[in-house]
Amino acid sequence: MGQKIILTGATSGIGKALALALVKEGHVVYATGRSSAKLAALKEEARSEKLIPVLMDFSSFESIDLALKKLLTSSFQVDILINNAAATSAKKIITEDGFEMQLQVNHFVPVYLTMKLLPYLEASKGFVITTASNAHKRTTFNPRAMEDKTMYRIFKRYQETKLYNLMMTRYFKRVYQASPVDFYAVHPGLVKTDLGSKNASKLVDIAWKLFNRRGMDPEGPIPTYLKIIQERPQDGTYYAYEKIEPYLPVVDDESKQERLMNHAFDALKLEKPHA
């Protein structure tokens, strides 16, 4: 029986490949994207009523809240949230909400959506999958970075936000261990996407394409997501290539988890969950 899934970043790269695969598997997919034209194209390609486009711009919490208001009716049901959307930018961009864009899109929004959807996921005994990355292994936890008080570098900030994705996942798994909701993260591997070319300078665009050409097609990591969805494994949190993947020890540092997440809850004006 198919499940009801909210998938962010569904109009390109891994998200698009995953949206089409999930619909083919019989799931209902609420596919988010910031471009109505790309969402319409995705709907046309899916050729299925199970693909439901949701216009949502992650650089604007007003856009997110408007979409959620339409979506989260009293009768709404969801089984899985897949936090997949991500952004990069060669130049530092401050969103209309006052946050650096990568911090907002890659870190704050997954926290926000997870908290907003948690009551619905608890009702369905569902789970959350967040697209992280082994890029997190090339950085360290620096509280000044999470507050956007360090020098901005495109790939350094990306590495930091991927570390935050894992720390968030482990935090929620710990705090909600008595809840019926599970939390997972996925390292998709090196995939041929335009992520590093978006909002990029010419030099960064060239560097990304040279690096990225060794990657697999966007369909490559799909089996890992499907494994989690089909099996709901209980013996791990972080997966890559359909197997449990190791992560940096700092991810499980509870004091650093608390510092990271308290900062996010304060910034987003969310009530902190209680263990």
Is 194:16 a contact under the CB 8 Å cutoff? no
The helix (H) or strand (E) run that includes residue 6 is strand 4-7
pLDDT at 207 over 70: no
pLDDT tens-place string over residues 226-239: 999 999 999 999 99
Check the CA dihedral 228-232-238-239 and report its sign.
negative
Q: What are phi and psi of 175, to 5 degrees?
A: -70, -35
What number is the average pLDDT over the span 157-177? 97
pLDDT exceeds 70 at position 78: yes
Looking at residue 119, its pLDDT comes to 96
- The pLDDT confidence band at residue 62, using thresholds 50, 70 and 90, is very high
**Domain-located, residue 96:** yes
- CA–CA gap between residue 152 and residue 66 (Å, rounded): 30
Task: Calculate the average pLDDT of the chain.
Answer: 92
Please report whether residue 242 resides in a domain: yes
Please report the DSSP string for 139-192 in residue order: ----HHHHTT-S---HHHHHHHHHHHHHHHHHHHHHHTTTSS-EEEEE---SB-
The H-or-E segment that residue 120 falls in is helix 109-124
Helix (H) or strand (E) holding 101: helix 101-102
Mean pLDDT of 168-177: 97
Structure confidence by residue, pLDDT tens digits, 9-46: 999 999 999 999 999 999 999 999 999 999 999 999 99
| pLDDT, position 208 | 46
Kindly give, in sequence order, each residue whose CB lies less than 8 Å from that of residue 136, ignoring residues fewer than 6 positions away.
Answer: 159, 162, 163, 165, 166, 247, 248, 251
Of the pLDDT bands very low, low, confident and very high (cuts 50, 70, 90), residue 242 is very high
Between residues 1 and 152, which one has the greater pLDDT? 152
Chain segment 105-135, per-residue pLDDT in tens: 999 999 999 999 999 999 999 999 999 999 9
- Tokens 């359909």 sit on residue: 242
> With bands split at pLDDT 50, 70 and 90, how would you rate the model's confidence at 194?
low
CA gap 221, 40 in Å, rounded: 24
Strand order in the sheet with 80-83: 51-55, 28-33, 4-7, 80-83, 127-131, 182-186, 238-240, 243-244
pLDDT of residue 275: 55
Residue 186 has pLDDT above 90, yes or no: yes
Residue 274 maps to a domain: no
- The total domain count for the chain is 1
CATH code for the domain in which residue 34 is found: 3.40.50.720
Q: What residue has token string 């959350």?
A: 128
Higher pLDDT, 206 or 100: 100
Inter-residue contact 50 to 2 (CB < 8 Å): yes
**Distance of alpha carbon 135 from alpha carbon 225, whole angstroms:** 19
275 located within any domain: no
* Domain region containing 152: 4-268
- pLDDT at 202 exceeding the cut of 60: no
The residue behind tokens 């994705």 is: 165
